[in-house]
């Protein structure tokens, strides 16, 4: 969650790195609509969490309208303060995320994805998770770090770290080698 201006700038930088963009320019606004959406998402998170003064609250209301319009245009229903830094939305199209979900750093998410609640509980998703197109994740489950979820999987139970999962209902297909840390 963005707690200050430094966090805000860090989140913006990590999101750009996730899209392989080194510098934001006016031209990028039209070449990367999903990244433009993410930048607005981070800005609205910053103003919601950090700016409690009158001008900050007023600007937050203006940003909400722009955010709502972009959400409709791109087909996203993504609430604020859900994703960690390094978010990469691969394509625009139907993406629906429950507001109580908690998703870690470096998440890559594709279109036609739904992350929702079941029986009042929402998923917790770890760091470095790849979510393929058409994936449905729901319930009070936990998905570990370094997990890849295959296309059209229906995930309704928890999975450990370093798993490759897929299917309906989802099951572990294999385990990937855990990343090596270089010292």
- The domain limits of the chain are 5-77, 94-175
Per the model's pLDDT, the better-predicted residue between 49 and 179 turns out to be: 49
Give pLDDT, residue 22: 83
Average confidence score pLDDT of the chain: 91
pLDDT tier at 21, thresholds 50, 70, 90: confident
Task: Give me the residues paired with residue 76 across strands.
Answer: 95
pLDDT tier at 183, thresholds 50, 70, 90: very low
Give pLDDT, residue 178: 54
Task: Give me the residues paired with residue 89 across strands.
Answer: 109
Mean predicted confidence (pLDDT) in 150-174:
94
Task: Give me the residues paired with residue 115 across strands.
Answer: 97, 137
CB 75 within 8 A of CB 93: yes
In three-state secondary structure terms, 183 is coil
* pTM of structure: 0.89
CATH number of 94-175: 2.160.10.10
Q: What is the DSSP letter of 41?
A: H
pLDDT single digits (tens) 67-81: 999 999 999 999 999
pLDDT single digits (tens) 79-122: 999 999 999 999 888 999 999 999 999 999 999 999 999 999 99
């Amino acid at each position: 969650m963005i707690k200050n201006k430094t966090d805000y700038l860090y989140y913006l930088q990590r999101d750009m790195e996730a899209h392989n963009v080194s510098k934001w320019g006016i031209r990028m606004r039209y070449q990367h609509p999903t990244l433009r959406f993410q930048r607005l998402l981070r800005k609205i998170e910053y103003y919601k969490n950090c700016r409690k003064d009158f001008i900050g609250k007023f600007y937050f209301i203006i940003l909400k309208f722009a955010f709502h319009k972009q959400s409709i245009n791109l087909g996203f229903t993504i609430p604020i303060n859900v994703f960690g830094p390094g978010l990469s939305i691969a394509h625009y199209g139907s993406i629906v995320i429950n507001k109580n979900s908690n998703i870690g750093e470096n998440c890559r998410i594709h279109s036609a994805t739904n992350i929702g609640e079941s029986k009042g509980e929402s998923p917790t998703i770890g760091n470095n998770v790849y979510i393929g197109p058409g994936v449905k994740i729901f319930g009070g489950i936990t998905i570990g770090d370094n997990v890849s979820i295959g296309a059209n999987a229906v995930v309704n139970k928890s999975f450990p770290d370093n798993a490759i999962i897929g299917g309906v209902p989802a099951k572990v297909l294999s385990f990937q080698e855990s990343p090596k840390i270089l010292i």
